[in-house]
């Protein structure tokens, strides 16, 4: 802890800090040009998403995650697949990379809380950051590798 603040201020900063960070990052990432989000290729170990199904049972819980894009006026909804055209799938794939990046950035900003929290609370903040963002990252990666596979199959047909 670098800044010594009253406990009530620390609690307030922690409670309002996360929504401000998450919503700010969502707004920033949503307003970045789509051309910046050419997603990386899927990895061989992802096996078109099967590793996420086997290791994390992702199909049982991914649909319960909130879609933050719906909170922003120009967000791209990733809750359901609305079309199967190559153009739409390509856009969806880019949007999964945008969403994943936003969640990685949220995790990366966790040390901001180290400024005013004691060590035990730093651990709470790190735990929260991981629990709140890793499931979303996994869902974005899972959807992306499956959509990349679908797009690749379409291009071969």
Residue 1 lies in a domain: no
Instruction: Give pLDDT tens digits for 103-150.
Output: 999 999 999 999 999 999 999 999 999 999 999 999 999 999 999 999
Q: What is the mean pLDDT of residues 63-78?
A: 83
Domain residues for the domain of 82 are 7-156
The number of beta carbons lying within 10 Å of the beta carbon of residue 104 is 16
More confident residue, 85 or 41: 85
d(CA 23, CA 41): 27
pTM value > 0.85:
yes
d(CA 96, CA 78): 8
Least confident of 15-24, 39-48, 82-91: 39-48
Does residue 28 carry a pLDDT above 80?
Answer: yes
Residue 2 lies in a domain: no
Q: Using pLDDT thresholds of 50, 70 and 90, give the confidence band for residue 152.
A: confident
Average confidence score pLDDT of the chain: 92
* pLDDT at residue 154 in the model: 87
d(CA 75, CA 62): 19
Residue 32 lies in a domain: yes
* pLDDT at residue 2 in the model: 83
Does residue 65 carry a pLDDT above 80?
Answer: yes
Does residue 63 carry a pLDDT above 80?
Answer: yes
State how many domains the chain has: 1
Residue 82 lies in a domain: yes
């Amino acid at each position: 802890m670098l800044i010594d603040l009253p406990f009530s201020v620390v609690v307030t900063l922690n409670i309002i800090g996360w929504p401000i960070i998450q919503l700010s990052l969502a707004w920033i990432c949503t307003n970045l040009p789509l051309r910046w989000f050419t997603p990386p290729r899927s990895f061989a170990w992802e096996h078109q998403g099967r590793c996420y199904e086997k290791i994390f049972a992702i199909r049982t819980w991914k649909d319960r995650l909130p879609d933050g894009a719906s909170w922003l006026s120009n967000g791209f909804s990733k809750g359901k697949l609305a079309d199967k055209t190559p153009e739409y799938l390509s856009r969806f794939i880019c949007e999964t990379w945008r969403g994943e990046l936003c969640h990685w950035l949220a995790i990366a900003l966790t040390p901001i809380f180290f400024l005013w929290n004691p060590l035990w609370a730093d651990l709470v903040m790190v735990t929260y950051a991981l629990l709140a963002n890793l499931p979303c990252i996994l869902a974005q990666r899972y959807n992306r590798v499956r959509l990349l596979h679908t797009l690749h199959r379409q291009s071969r047909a």
